[in-house]
Amino acid sequence: MSRPTIAITMGDPAGIGPEIIMKALAHPSVHSMCNPLVIGDAQRLRQAGMIIGTQLRVVALDDPAKAQFSSDSVQCVDLKLVPRDLPFGEVSAISGEAAFQYIKKAVEVVSSGQAHAICTAPLSKEALHAAGHKFPGHTELLAYLTGTPEVSMMLVSPKLRVIHVTTHIGLLDAIAKIEPGLVERVITRGYDTLTKAGIANPKIGVCAINPHAGENGLFGRGEEAEKITPAVEACKAKGWDVRGPLPADTLFFLAGRGDYDMVVAMYHDQGHGPIKVLGLEAGVNVSVGLPVIRTSVDHGTAFDIAGKGIADERSLVEALRQAVDLAPKPAAA
């Protein structure tokens, strides 16, 4: 099977993105599992390479088709947006605009078939806004660029996949927002992502909202029967292996030992907690429902340590691994 090409966006050039990219691409295992194609600025990557002391060559490309992948080089589609003297660790409209353009270019590269998935280094919301791009983050920006009306967040670790029905809203607002149509759409997005990645008939567990899945109405106000069960039954009617609503504590234990391919969490902390217990360096953020697969590191720009060569690249390595696992598989060479 030929290796998939993963478009890696450099993120905010004043953050740790350039450093963790250079560190990650120094791992031979990365090159053995994919063809990493960086969308960014070659000069900034060279600066980062000097900071971390790597021998990797950075090859500047004006066309992704010219990439010649090798384990001793970094192939970079060079947008030439970063001044040589741009300081690390500072918010600026220049770096925000650059981060926006890297994402825009990556979408073009994947949409044209020159890469199979996108893996993003972190950007700064503040810098993005300073550049005039009023998006909360990568997910909303990618949804805008691809014309996607609704996107779900999936967190992935080596032992667990969790897709969220709601994310960054308060708990009371989350419960109010949950309804059968939304739950069914989220399950469908997760199912489609897993099957396209080669997981036949994935086993999906759906969390309840209340303790003990409501204990037949003893806890809560009937949310399981009203908001979740109709969606589970609709998915079962399609022939899918979907089970729930199940008590979240037990479901996460079963999924962690391999009984389920994916868990559907109802709200932010219900899904994030179990993933982060497994280790921040292991968690990967996946945007589900876009026409392209996008994975991301599970951390921010870390301006306080940017340019010091001490940033940890393990989350990026894992994000690349998950991009490979979830990307539609290219045909054998």
Looking at residue 298, its pLDDT comes to 77
pLDDT mean across residues, the chain:
93
Nearest to 234 by CA among 161, 153, 165, 179: 179
Looking at residue 299, its pLDDT comes to 82
Indicate if the pLDDT at residue 41 is higher than 90. Answer: yes
Write the DSSP string, 58-89: EEEESSGGG----TTEEEEEE---S-TTPPTT
Cβ neighbors of 184 (< 8 A, separation 6 or more) are 230, 231, 234, 235
**CATH fold for the domain made of 5-150+291-326:** Isopropylmalate Dehydrogenase (3.40.718)
pTM of the model: 0.85
CA distances from 124 to 93, 107, 168, 275 (A): 10, 19, 17, 23
Q: Going by CATH, does the domain composed of 159-276 fall within 2.60.40.10?
A: no
Structural contact between residues 197 and 185, judged by C-beta atoms closer than 8 angstroms: no
Mean pLDDT to the nearest integer, 298-303: 88
Lowest mean pLDDT segment, chosen from 61-65, 150-154, 226-230 = 150-154
Indicate if the pLDDT at residue 157 is higher than 90. Answer: no
Indicate if the pLDDT at residue 282 is higher than 70. Answer: no
Write the DSSP string, 119-182: EE----HHHHHHTT---SSHHHHHHHHHT-S--EEEEEETTEEEEES--SS-HHHHHHH--HHH
Looking at residue 59, its pLDDT comes to 98
* pLDDT tens for each residue of 187-203: 999 999 999 888 999 99
Most confident of 41-50, 208-217, 311-320: 41-50
Sequence ranges of the chain with CATH classification 3.40.718.10: 5-150+291-326, 159-276
Q: Between 314-326 and 17-24, two packed helices, what is the crossing angle to 10 degrees?
A: 70
Q: What stretches of 2-52 adopt beta strand conformation (E)? A: 5-9, 35-40
Structural contact between residues 224 and 214, judged by C-beta atoms closer than 8 angstroms: yes
Looking at residue 125, its pLDDT comes to 92
Looking at residue 281, its pLDDT comes to 62
What is the C-alpha separation between 299 and 285, in angstroms, rounded? Answer: 9
Task: Please report which confidence band the pLDDT of residue 329 belongs to, taking 50, 70 and 90 as the band edges.
Answer: low
Nearest to 187 by CA among 225, 269, 243: 243
Task: Please report which confidence band the pLDDT of residue 84 belongs to, taking 50, 70 and 90 as the band edges.
Answer: very high
Indicate if the pLDDT at residue 333 is higher than 60. Answer: no
* pLDDT tens for each residue of 90-149: 999 999 999 999 999 999 999 999 999 999 999 999 999 999 999 877 888 999 999 999
